[in-house]
Chains A and B, each alone.
Chain A
């Protein structure tokens, strides 16, 4: 059996993408297709008092104006469910406005332009109610969500933190803030819905086809077999395409009303309110240590926004429970319901922002101890999971740190801030650890021999740009002993076998393990020597006890070098290295690209990204990519990721762990720590824009 799994082969869907033949949701066309445009609320809380759509209805080409007054009845919204993303998502259900940007009407017309013009011509009047919009003033309303989205409890406690912290020789007690962030993926959300013989087909841009299938079917009160959901190509998801939004539901409702296919696409501007965002957070980290750096006490407490319209508890503190040893510890997760758009997962929910706090706090502790920050981390390496008290399935934080230090030239770092100059630049280096929970979900896969030497793989899994198509082809090729070109991978149809979809970095491992099972079964059938053609096998995987018996995470270490302009405070990354261990790597090339993508996002989180809230209106004012900054090429001159060899026998049959989110975890903290090392500015309020760096520079220069 040739070794195919792990090879850095090119994406098998690459050619279709670069030649423009891969059809993304909004690229799809249907005969007699009409176009929908959504009208969104311009108040944050209250009710729609009236909608004057007369002018819009009179415009030539306008086919339908749907508001809460005439929207078809749908299933009611459910606050809680096992699968949040499979809940009904009724649209225009009543006159209530729960957040700025909530859809309040849909216009459908013969052309997209007419629909949009008509949408602008609709006059909505509101009765406005007061709302709560500011996280800082909501601490009184903060509550314990009970558990986070992964099911872990909101609070944890071990030993006696207060006593140990009081007695600690060296302490850090600091508050960190992270802002609202938006997924800002390249492809805006869009859906095309059509009905034929009572069956609905929705082609959309989704991460979780199975959940979307249930959500759409339930919302419209349809039998599951009367709905087909398709999502073959997705131009980035990052969590923002886990839920189903108004585009899909409204397209389906309108298509039924009009008896013709309807496409509804969100504008870039609408995405900032209509879809979800990463909640802002306020985090307090306290670390107590002995003089030699041994941690005796750790607490990490978080407060994050949740929407009053729909609860989401960002699991900010969870990984802190497993990161460093210390006998006395406490973590707590609180959320506050605000009258803002809905918060939900965004790449590495929890770790991405939790580590911005914890890993900067570790750096602050190292400074106070006058100790190398890598040494400090090595000193506090746990032998088993410090809270769950179970062994780690694998844990490679130490090799990631030491290997990275060697490759990066960490020994050349000057520990004192402001000592290294390059012209007008003050140059600094920073380090931070990466940790990200590894998950396995129930999944099924089918593999069928199309001919003697050709197989087709089918799953309702998605490829959101991560490389799923390619790694599944590799798995099937290796197990069936066929060339990769002979494997056709079909994803993203709800009629294919059920998978958990793409999210939480569980997709490749869960689906890959199910596919492994399917291929193994097919191979057994093939060995019986009957003709290959038409032979088919279905495989599956279910999470077992391994998740209770072992603490499962992927790890890494980030190293950043950057310059701070001593006059202006501009921060510019110079180079960055991440060293990671994430079990067996399924494709070295796509994994690398996931990791550097995550790291770059970490740079953006540290320095640029913020969805700015206007607390008077309860609205986000950054509504396009001019105002919402993500890194551009010039911001990331040299970003490298190195993968250490690893196989996690407890993760799944492939030994792999997720890599989609690991890269962002801790990356921003390494950047923040480098800013401090460069110029002495300790900025705990992300993003670290130059206005927050300047005061330290003016102080330095007197």
Chain B
């Protein structure tokens, strides 16, 4: 860990001011950032601790949605009655992430902005374009069992590790931001994380010094919701593949399906084509399987992650079936 300076402002304006200086980084729960600092992957010279900012509330929005403060802990959010009743997919995703202790400390914004778990990213002795642009991607021809099958580039095949973000993508959440200029802006969650392209060092579209202040959930969509995570052990492991799904079905037909896949791409992956195909389709196995196939149609695999394609297809088809038929 490199030496750094530290401050803990108690209001948003002061935090924004503090974050302007070069080398500054926000720190919330610190469960990701500190680990990365200890192993020299992140080297901020100034930490702006935002944990005392008044961003810990979950409040109702006028249209019937929820506004989740950036600092609401993963534990509190998962336990919130409104979340559990109206957005069960989100509560489930949160509880499928990390461990109880980590969730107590982890924040909503920190969870969105956690960095990939590609093992090469974690060892400064190994080439990694995300950590050191231009050094090469060790995973491309190396150990890539956990890696992306959709939307990757030759420069980086890492996946975004968050569970919570996958549920939020299916819920069409919005991200509320403060810019260093003091303006507030919003963007759909789909625009927050980016695909690696030629700049894998950039995980998101956030500009330097921008602060996430809240995540806004639109009113709960009609239909049944679930989050299903497939992993190498029963708990405390990142997703190999996960599915967040909200399916509104009745009378033998699917009215609407909202889907997002985790563990397959550099961002929560929304299979738009599959969603379109499902809208109005008969609620039967053939529809689910066809949708699952089209969700994975563009998949590209590497040495160790071929299994993710059949796995994601099977998981998606089964999840759709369970939600649509009330099974």
Q: Do A and B come from one complex?
A: yes
Q: Chain A interface (Cβ within 8 Å of chain B)?
A: 42, 113, 116-117, 120, 267, 269, 424, 567-570, 572, 607-608, 612, 614, 616-617, 619, 621-624, 626-627, 629, 631-635, 689-691, 694, 698
B314 contacts partner chain A, Cβ-Cβ < 8 Å: yes
Whether the pair B125, A635 counts as a contact (CB closer than 8 A) is no
Chain A, Cβ-Cβ closest to B230: A568
In the bound assembly, the distance between CA atoms of A608 and B231 in angstroms comes to: 11
Q: Which of B120, B230, B240 contacts A621 (CB 8 A)?
A: B120
B7 contacts partner chain A, Cβ-Cβ < 8 Å: no
| Chain A residues near B120 (CB-CB < 8 A) | 621
Whether the pair A629, B233 counts as a contact (CB closer than 8 A) is yes
Chain A, Cβ-Cβ closest to B312: A568
Chosen A-B contacts, 5 in total, with CB atoms closer than 8 Å, are: A117-B3, A567-B314, A621-B142, A690-B230, A694-B307
B126 contacts partner chain A, Cβ-Cβ < 8 Å: yes
In the bound assembly, the distance between CA atoms of A634 and B231 in angstroms comes to: 13
List 7 tightest A-B contacts by C-beta distance, closest first. Answer: A42-B125, A634-B234, A691-B307, A634-B235, A621-B119, A567-B318, A568-B230
In the bound assembly, the distance between CA atoms of A570 and B241 in angstroms comes to: 12
| Chain B residues near A616 (CB-CB < 8 A) | 141-142
Q: Which of B1, B38, B119 contacts A627 (CB 8 A)?
A: B119
| Chain A residues near B237 (CB-CB < 8 A) | 629
Which of A424, A569, A614, A631 has the largest count of B CB atoms less than 10 A from its CB? A614
| Chain B residues near A612 (CB-CB < 8 A) | 119, 143
Whether the pair A120, B40 counts as a contact (CB closer than 8 A) is yes
Whether the pair B119, A623 counts as a contact (CB closer than 8 A) is yes
In the bound assembly, the distance between CA atoms of A624 and B145 in angstroms comes to: 16
Judged by DSSP, the binding face of B is loop
Closest chain-B Cβ to A19's Cβ sits at a distance in Å of 20
| Chain A residues near B318 (CB-CB < 8 A) | 424, 567
Q: Which of B124, B143, B233, B315 contacts A568 (CB 8 A)?
A: B315
B26 contacts partner chain A, Cβ-Cβ < 8 Å: no
Residue interface mask B212-255, A partner, CB < 8 A = 1: 00000000000000000011111111101000000000000000
| Chain B residues near A42 (CB-CB < 8 A) | 125
Closest chain-B Cβ to A13's Cβ sits at a distance in Å of 25
Whether the pair A626, B2 counts as a contact (CB closer than 8 A) is no
| Chain A residues near B125 (CB-CB < 8 A) | 42, 619
| Chain A residues near B38 (CB-CB < 8 A) | 116, 267
In the bound assembly, the distance between CA atoms of A42 and B135 in angstroms comes to: 15
Q: Which of B3, B123, B138, B236 contacts A632 (CB 8 A)?
A: B236
| Chain B residues near A635 (CB-CB < 8 A) | 233-235
Q: Which of A424, A614, A634, A694 contacts B310 (CB 8 A)?
A: A694
Whether the pair A269, B39 counts as a contact (CB closer than 8 A) is yes
| Chain A residues near B235 (CB-CB < 8 A) | 632-635
| Chain B residues near A568 (CB-CB < 8 A) | 230, 311, 314-315
Whether the pair A567, B315 counts as a contact (CB closer than 8 A) is yes
In the bound assembly, the distance between CA atoms of A570 and B237 in angstroms comes to: 13
In the bound assembly, the distance between CA atoms of A129 and B234 in angstroms comes to: 42
B122 contacts partner chain A, Cβ-Cβ < 8 Å: yes
| Chain B residues near A690 (CB-CB < 8 A) | 230, 232, 240, 307, 311
B117 contacts partner chain A, Cβ-Cβ < 8 Å: yes
| Chain B residues near A632 (CB-CB < 8 A) | 233-236
In the bound assembly, the distance between CA atoms of A634 and B236 in angstroms comes to: 9
Closest chain-A Cβ to B135's Cβ sits at a distance in Å of 13
Whether the pair A117, B230 counts as a contact (CB closer than 8 A) is no
Whether the pair A608, B233 counts as a contact (CB closer than 8 A) is yes
| Chain B residues near A117 (CB-CB < 8 A) | 1-3
Chain A, Cβ-Cβ closest to B117: A626
Closest chain-A Cβ to B111's Cβ sits at a distance in Å of 15
Whether the pair A634, B233 counts as a contact (CB closer than 8 A) is yes
Closest chain-B Cβ to A313's Cβ sits at a distance in Å of 28
Whether the pair B1, A113 counts as a contact (CB closer than 8 A) is yes
| Chain A residues near B2 (CB-CB < 8 A) | 117, 120
Whether the pair B138, A614 counts as a contact (CB closer than 8 A) is yes
Closest chain-B Cβ to A637's Cβ sits at a distance in Å of 9
Whether the pair B143, A629 counts as a contact (CB closer than 8 A) is no
In the bound assembly, the distance between CA atoms of A378 and B235 in angstroms comes to: 38
| Chain B residues near A626 (CB-CB < 8 A) | 117, 238
Which of B39, B234, B237 has the largest count of A CB atoms less than 10 A from its CB? B234
- List CB contacts (< 8 Å) of B16-75 with chain A: 38-40
| Chain A residues near B310 (CB-CB < 8 A) | 694, 698
Closest chain-B Cβ to A501's Cβ sits at a distance in Å of 33
Closest chain-A Cβ to B130's Cβ sits at a distance in Å of 15
Closest chain-B Cβ to A51's Cβ sits at a distance in Å of 15
Closest chain-B Cβ to A586's Cβ sits at a distance in Å of 33
| Chain B residues near A622 (CB-CB < 8 A) | 119
Chain B, Cβ-Cβ closest to A424: B318
Q: Which of B117, B142, B307 contacts A614 (CB 8 A)?
A: B142
Closest chain-A Cβ to B143's Cβ sits at a distance in Å of 5
4 other contacts beyond A117-B1, A120-B2, A621-B120, with CB at 8 A cut-off? A569-B311, A622-B119, A623-B119, A691-B307
Closest chain-A Cβ to B159's Cβ sits at a distance in Å of 14
In the bound assembly, the distance between CA atoms of A612 and B38 in angstroms comes to: 22
Chain B, Cβ-Cβ closest to A568: B230
| Chain A residues near B119 (CB-CB < 8 A) | 612, 621-623, 627
Q: Which of A116, A624, A694 contacts B311 (CB 8 A)?
A: A694
Whether the pair B238, A570 counts as a contact (CB closer than 8 A) is no
Q: Which of A570, A623, A629, A634 contacts B123 (CB 8 A)?
A: A623
| Chain A residues near B40 (CB-CB < 8 A) | 120
| Chain B residues near A267 (CB-CB < 8 A) | 38-39
- List CB contacts (< 8 Å) of B75-133 with chain A: 117, 119-120, 122-126
In the bound assembly, the distance between CA atoms of A631 and B235 in angstroms comes to: 9
Residue interface mask B148-186, A partner, CB < 8 A = 1: 000000000000000000000000000000000000000
Q: Which of A617, A624, A629 contacts B232 (CB 8 A)?
A: A629
Whether the pair B311, A617 counts as a contact (CB closer than 8 A) is no
In the bound assembly, the distance between CA atoms of A632 and B120 in angstroms comes to: 24
Closest chain-B Cβ to A373's Cβ sits at a distance in Å of 26
Whether the pair A621, B143 counts as a contact (CB closer than 8 A) is yes
Closest chain-B Cβ to A8's Cβ sits at a distance in Å of 29
In the bound assembly, the distance between CA atoms of A623 and B233 in angstroms comes to: 18
In the bound assembly, the distance between CA atoms of A616 and B303 in angstroms comes to: 14
In the bound assembly, the distance between CA atoms of A572 and B233 in angstroms comes to: 8
Chain B, Cβ-Cβ closest to A572: B234
| Chain A residues near B143 (CB-CB < 8 A) | 612, 614, 621
Chain B, Cβ-Cβ closest to A697: B314
In the bound assembly, the distance between CA atoms of A633 and B122 in angstroms comes to: 26
In the bound assembly, the distance between CA atoms of A690 and B237 in angstroms comes to: 14
In the bound assembly, the distance between CA atoms of A567 and B316 in angstroms comes to: 10
Chain A, Cβ-Cβ closest to B317: A567
Chain B, Cβ-Cβ closest to A113: B1
Closest chain-A Cβ to B77's Cβ sits at a distance in Å of 21
In the bound assembly, the distance between CA atoms of A117 and B40 in angstroms comes to: 8
Closest chain-A Cβ to B198's Cβ sits at a distance in Å of 23
| Chain A residues near B232 (CB-CB < 8 A) | 608, 629, 689-690
Closest chain-A Cβ to B97's Cβ sits at a distance in Å of 13
In the bound assembly, the distance between CA atoms of A626 and B36 in angstroms comes to: 13
| Chain B residues near A689 (CB-CB < 8 A) | 232
In the bound assembly, the distance between CA atoms of A612 and B118 in angstroms comes to: 13
Chain A, Cβ-Cβ closest to B146: A627
Chain A, Cβ-Cβ closest to B308: A691
| Chain A residues near B307 (CB-CB < 8 A) | 690-691, 694
In the bound assembly, the distance between CA atoms of A631 and B117 in angstroms comes to: 19
In the bound assembly, the distance between CA atoms of A117 and B307 in angstroms comes to: 41
Which of A424, A568, A607, A614 has the largest count of B CB atoms less than 10 A from its CB? A568
Chain B, Cβ-Cβ closest to A120: B40
| Chain A residues near B240 (CB-CB < 8 A) | 690
| Chain A residues near B238 (CB-CB < 8 A) | 626
In the bound assembly, the distance between CA atoms of A619 and B176 in angstroms comes to: 42
| Chain B residues near A634 (CB-CB < 8 A) | 233-236
| Chain B residues near A633 (CB-CB < 8 A) | 235
| Chain B residues near A619 (CB-CB < 8 A) | 123, 125-126
Chain B, Cβ-Cβ closest to A116: B1
In the bound assembly, the distance between CA atoms of A626 and B161 in angstroms comes to: 12
In the bound assembly, the distance between CA atoms of A627 and B238 in angstroms comes to: 9
